[in-house]
Structures are given as C-alpha cells and as structure tokens.
C-alpha cells in the first residue's frame, strides 16, 4: 500500500480534537520514557555546556561512538572558558575521528563568543542560543529545553518520521508544505511542563522503536493512535524522497610520504569530497589528463613544490552518496618542511581517518 493521504481528519492546528490527541500522545510518551530511557552520560547533567557538547557531537554520529569522545572532550575542556582559551589545533585534535570538522571549529568559535558576550555561560534564551556560531534551530531547541526548560520542540529526522507515521502525513518532510505542518504538530504535541524530557523521549522513540526500516510497532507506546499502523502502512511514511542517479567519477588523491609514514593534511573547506577532514587532497581527474600531472598541480597549490611526485597506485573504488568513485592514489615524497596543519602518521594509525582515506593508505602498502 502506498501512502496517499497527506492530512489526517480534524487536523487543523486550532482543532480541539487534535489538541486533545496530541496531549494524549505526550502523556503516553512520557510514561514510556520514564521506564525505557537509556542511561547516557549527557543525561546525568543539566549543565548547559555539557548538553551543548553532546548535541553537537551527536549530529550525524551514532550514540555509542560519541560516548568516549564526549567524556574525553569534557575532561580536556570542562568549561566554555577552557574551550575558548584552547588553540584551534588542540580542539580539532580532540575532535579527530568524529568527522565534519566544521562542527569542531564552530564549537570553538561559539565558546569564544560565549566568553566575549555572555561571560562564558550559555544564555537561558532560545534566540541568544540560536545566534551562536554553528547552532541551528534543532540544537538551540535541544539545549534550551533540556538545560533550561525552554518550551521549544525539536524537529530532526527521528521526530519527523514518528510524526509522519502517527498522523499518516505523506510528502517530503524537508520541503513545504509538510515541513511547516510537522513543525506545528511538534509544537502542539510538546509537553510544556517538561520540554527537555519530551524532546529526548520523542527522539528516543524514533531511534529505538519507530526506526526507518524495521519499526517495532508492538513495543510502541503510542501505537493505538498511529494512523499508519492502523492502515498497515507504517513503511510508507515518510514518503521516499527521489534518489539522484548514480554518477561514476574518476579522481586522484595526492598522498605525500615521509619515510614509511604518510602525511595527512586538513582538507580545505571548498574541497568537493570530504572537506575539513584530516586526510589527502583530492581532485577530479579531467578527461585524458595523466594522474601524475594532476597530482603535481595539487602539490604546487598546497605544498609549493616541496614534493617529488612518485608513482600512481592501483585505483581504489568507493561510494559516497550518489557518487561511484574510482580514485587513483599518487604518492609523493616530501622534500621540505610540512605545511601548517600537516602531520605524519603510520599506516597503522590510518584507522582514525575516513573510510576512503583508509582504503587509499592500504593501496600504497
């Protein structure tokens, strides 16, 4: 069965029936969360700084993977003032392994803004939190509701999926008009007495029970009111977004070496693939261009000619979203000092790098 309807009956935002339904939804959710919530380190505190660090780390990273990074990061930078006073390279070194280095840079910049504008403390105001570097609507709502009890609903992928199924709403959750509809429902369903617990409960439900591909409907605390479940159509919501056709691309990777170690750099923010990661410079291989010549062009820009270009290794195959990549690693010997931000690692330490870069290191061994 395919999802057809995009609206539930009596679903105007000012409908008393819908308001009562959403209130019941919130009550059942709260009872479930009281007994089913996971014991996670960031749930043992209401310290706004610790909540902020956890929320940023949890973006696009699995919960279990975040825990050791969260604990080490707080041990090293226990306050916003300590984070603001640190050097950027030390912050990013502590962030290494979580990926998306812009998040680490934004944390550092926001900590400095907190010290400069708020005395080192996160303000108890949604708009002021939202104005900090790198903090969007979701993160501001999460910090505000959990740390300060600000009644603002979160809306992430888990919440969108739960609400789409519960109300049988078809369409793309990221696009109008459904995005606005979901925002209104999230706010209407919010338990304004305990907004932090409510937001965490809703995200927990999406993460553990109302999962994308194998929803555990028998365990769901709100299953009785779920329209998708009653129709036997829980897999039809949210509607599948159109997928971009796969595109085959050839790339080269410049892999500098010093002795038996490889040199990794922080990739530039405008690099098309894996920007702001520790790894290797990448460039598309233009038609009929020889890989070593393309690598030499990269070396001139980034290493100012301080590399002797070596051999091209066997191509590496890798997929990133719609791209089907054929990446030709080209090794190079460092002839001078390393540029700022570069460092050497042993091939065994490549496990800290993203998957594509790990494959590249293995291809050269």
Question: Residue 24 has which token pair?
Answer: 């019941």
Asked if 241 and 172 count as a contact pair (C-beta separation under 8 A), the reply is yes
Number of H helices, E strands in the chain: 14, 8
Residue 274 CA neighbour count, 13 Å, CB half = 25
3-state secondary structure of 350: helix
Question: Residue 317 has which token pair?
Answer: 């195959």
Question: Residue 312 has which token pair?
Answer: 């091209």
CA-atom Rg of the chain in angstroms: 24
State the residue for tokens 């990061």. Answer: 73
For the chain, strand residue ranges (E) read 247-258, 261-266, 278-279, 281-284, 307-312, 316-320, 323-334, 343-345
Residue 124 CA neighbour count, 13 Å, CB half = 7
Asked if 318 and 233 count as a contact pair (C-beta separation under 8 A), the reply is no
Label the pairing between strands 307-312 and 281-284.
unpaired
Catalytic residue selected from 21, 55, 204, 276? 55
Asked if 279 and 353 count as a contact pair (C-beta separation under 8 A), the reply is yes
The question of whether 290 is a catalytic residue gets the answer: no
Question: Residue 257 has which token pair?
Answer: 């070496």
Label the pairing between strands 247-258 and 323-334.
parallel
Neighbours of 310 (CB within 10 A): 16
Selection from 151, 118, 119, 152 nearest residue 138 by Cα: 152
- Quick one: how far is CA 311 from the chain centroid? 36
Catalytic residues: 55
């Amino acid at each position: 069965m395919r999802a057809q309807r995009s609206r539930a009956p009596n679903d105007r935002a000012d409908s008393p029936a819908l308001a009562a339904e959403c209130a019941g939804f919130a009550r059942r959710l709260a009872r479930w969360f009281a007994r089913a919530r996971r014991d996670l380190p960031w749930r043992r505190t209401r310290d706004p700084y610790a909540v902020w660090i956890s929320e940023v780390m949890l973006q696009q990273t699995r919960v279990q993977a975040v825990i050791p990074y969260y604990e080490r990061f707080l041990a090293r930078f226990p306050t916003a003032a300590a984070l603001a006073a640190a050097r950027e390279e030390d912050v990013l070194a502590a962030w290494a392994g979580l990926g998306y280095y812009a998040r680490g840079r934004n944390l550092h910049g926001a900590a400095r803004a907190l010290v400069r504008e708020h005395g080192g403390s996160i303000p108890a105001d949604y708009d002021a939190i939202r104005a900090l570097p790198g903090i969007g609507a979701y993160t501001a709502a999460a910090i505000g509701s959990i740390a300060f009890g600000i009644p603002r609903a979160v809306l992430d992928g888990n919440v969108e999926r739960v609400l789409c199924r519960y109300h049988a709403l078809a369409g793309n959750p990221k696009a109008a008009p459904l995005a606005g509809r979901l925002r209104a429902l999230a706010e209407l369903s919010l338990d304004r007495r305990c907004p932090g617990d409510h937001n965490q409960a809703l995200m927990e439900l999406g993460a553990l029970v109302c999962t994308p591909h194998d929803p555990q409907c028998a365990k769901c605390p709100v299953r009785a009111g779920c329209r998708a479940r009653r129709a036997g159509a829980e897999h039809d919501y949210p509607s599948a977004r159109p997928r971009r056709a796969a595109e085959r691309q050839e790339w080269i990777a410049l892999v500098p070496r010093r002795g038996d170690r490889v040199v990794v750099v922080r990739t530039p923010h405008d690099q098309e693939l894996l920007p702001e990661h520790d790894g290797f410079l990448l460039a598309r291989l233009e038609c009929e261009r020889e890989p070593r010549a393309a690598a030499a062009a990269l070396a001139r820009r980034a290493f100012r000619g301080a590399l002797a270009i070596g051999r091209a290794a066997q191509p590496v195959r890798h997929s990133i979203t719609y791209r089907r990549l054929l990446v030709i690693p080209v090794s190079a010997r460092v002839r001078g000092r390393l540029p700022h931000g570069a460092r050497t690692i042993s091939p065994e330490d490549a496990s800290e790098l993203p998957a594509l870069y790990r494959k590249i290191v293995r291809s050269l061994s």
